[in-house]
Structure 1
Amino acid sequence: MSVSKLRYYQNYRSLRQAQGLLELISCNDDLWGLDPEIKRRLARRALAMLQGARPRGHRRAAWYYLRGRAWSMLGKYHRGIRTFRRAAKLDPHHIATYLSLAWCLKRVDRLEQSISILNHAIARAPHHPLVRYNQACYLSLAGQPQLAAMELSIALELKPDLRSKVAREADFDPIRNHPAFDAALQVVV
């Protein structure tokens, strides 16, 4: 096997292993979340795996995306933002990158930028329920109940299962008593 082929497979394996660790951290977090220290250790381990990998081509965007996820899981939101922006430049069609970037921006009190980023995501994937749901959350926090309710109703129409998250979603607290919010929840799906 040539050196370049070997390096290609090593990079691929590093990406997959880091992805697996990051999925382990976040899977079923609502039900049986991992201890925070274990999460941090796994995120640091994922970063170490990615440090040695230097993929080329389309995998470069995945490398940045996974690094961004690890940084955000460590609470290093500014690093996550920079890394997700690089991933979005390399692969402007990867919707999870926009969701993650907006999430990090929200955590550093840049809510208007979060909304703007999700507007870009909506333009690329108008039928993506999680983009619509998160946009509803951010618009609610920004004091835009009509737009938040509209996005929420679209999200619920696209994925009715999201309705179960609404009751415990603190981001909707600012608009819970608004008639538009009630109307969005009354939509029959």
Structure 2
Amino acid sequence: MSVSKLRHYQNYRQLREAQGILELISCNDDLWGLDPEIKRRMACRALSLLQGARPRGSRRAAWYYLRGRGWSLLGKHKRAIRALRAAAKIDPHHIATYLSLAWCLKRIDRLEQSIEILNQAVERAPHHPLVRYNQACYLSLAGQPQLAAMELSIALELKPDLRSRIAGESDFDPIRNHPAFDAALQVIV
């Protein structure tokens, strides 16, 4: 095997391993509330793997995206934003990048930018239920109940299972008593 092919394989393996670690953090954290120290060590391990990888071509977007996810899990949102913006520039069709980028922007009180990012995601994937649901959350926080309710209605039409999240979603607290919010919940799916 040539040195070039070996390096290509090593980069691919490092990306996949880092992706697996980040997925383990996310799914286990949702299910069981992963211990913060374990979560931190796993995110650091993923970032360490990514530091050694130097992918080219289409894998470069994945490399930036995974770095952004790792930094966001560590609470380093500004670093995450830089990496996620680079990923979106390389691959503007990867919707998970927009969701992660908007999430990080929200965490550093850039709510309007979060909404703008999700508007871009809606343009690229108008039938993506999580984009619509997150946009509803952010519009609610921004004090735009009609737009939030419209996005929530669309999200529920696209994925009725999202209804189970609404009661525990604090992002909807600003509009819970608004007639538009009530109307969105009345949509039969």
TM-score range with shorter-chain normalisation? over 0.9
Q: Give the alignment's TM-score, normalised by structure 1.
A: 0.99
Superposition deviation, residue 169 in structure 1: 0.3
Q: Give the alignment's TM-score, normalised by structure 2.
A: 0.99
Residue 150 of structure 2 corresponds to which residue in structure 1?
A: 150
Q: SS in structure 2 opposite 1:127?
A: coil
Q: SS in structure 2 opposite 1:7?
A: helix
Percentage of identical aligned residues: 85
Residue 16 of structure 1 corresponds to which residue in structure 2?
A: 16
User: Could you tell me whether the CA contact under 8 Å between 2:28 and 2:34 is conserved in 1?
Assistant: no
Q: SS in structure 2 opposite 1:27?
A: helix
> In structure 1, what is the Cα distance between the partners aligned to 2:165 and 2:126?
21
Residue 51 of structure 1 corresponds to which residue in structure 2?
A: 51
Q: What letter corresponds to residue 158 of structure 2 in structure 1?
A: L
Q: What letter corresponds to residue 33 of structure 2 in structure 1?
A: G
> In structure 2, what is the Cα distance between the partners aligned to 1:34 and 1:145?
34
Q: What letter corresponds to residue 98 of structure 1 in structure 2?
A: Y
Superposition deviation, residue 116 in structure 1: 0.2
Residue 26 of structure 2 corresponds to which residue in structure 1?
A: 26
Residue 96 of structure 2 corresponds to which residue in structure 1?
A: 96
Gaps of 5+ in 1: none
Superposition deviation, residue 33 in structure 1: 1.9
> In structure 2, what is the Cα distance between the partners aligned to 1:75 and 1:180?
34
Q: What letter corresponds to residue 58 of structure 2 in structure 1?
A: H
Q: SS in structure 1 opposite 2:188?
A: coil
Residue 187 of structure 1 corresponds to which residue in structure 2?
A: 187
What does 1:120-159 correspond to in 2, within 5 Å?
120-159=120-159
Residue 169 of structure 1 corresponds to which residue in structure 2?
A: 169
Gaps of 5+ in 2: none
Superposition deviation, residue 30 in structure 1: 3.2
Q: What letter corresponds to residue 105 of structure 1 in structure 2?
A: L
> In structure 2, what is the Cα distance between the partners aligned to 1:3 and 1:28?
37
Superposition deviation, residue 28 in structure 1: 4.4
After TM superposition, the runs of 4+ consecutive aligned structure 1 residues lying more than 6 A away are: none
Count of matched residue positions in the alignment of Structure 1 and Structure 2: 189
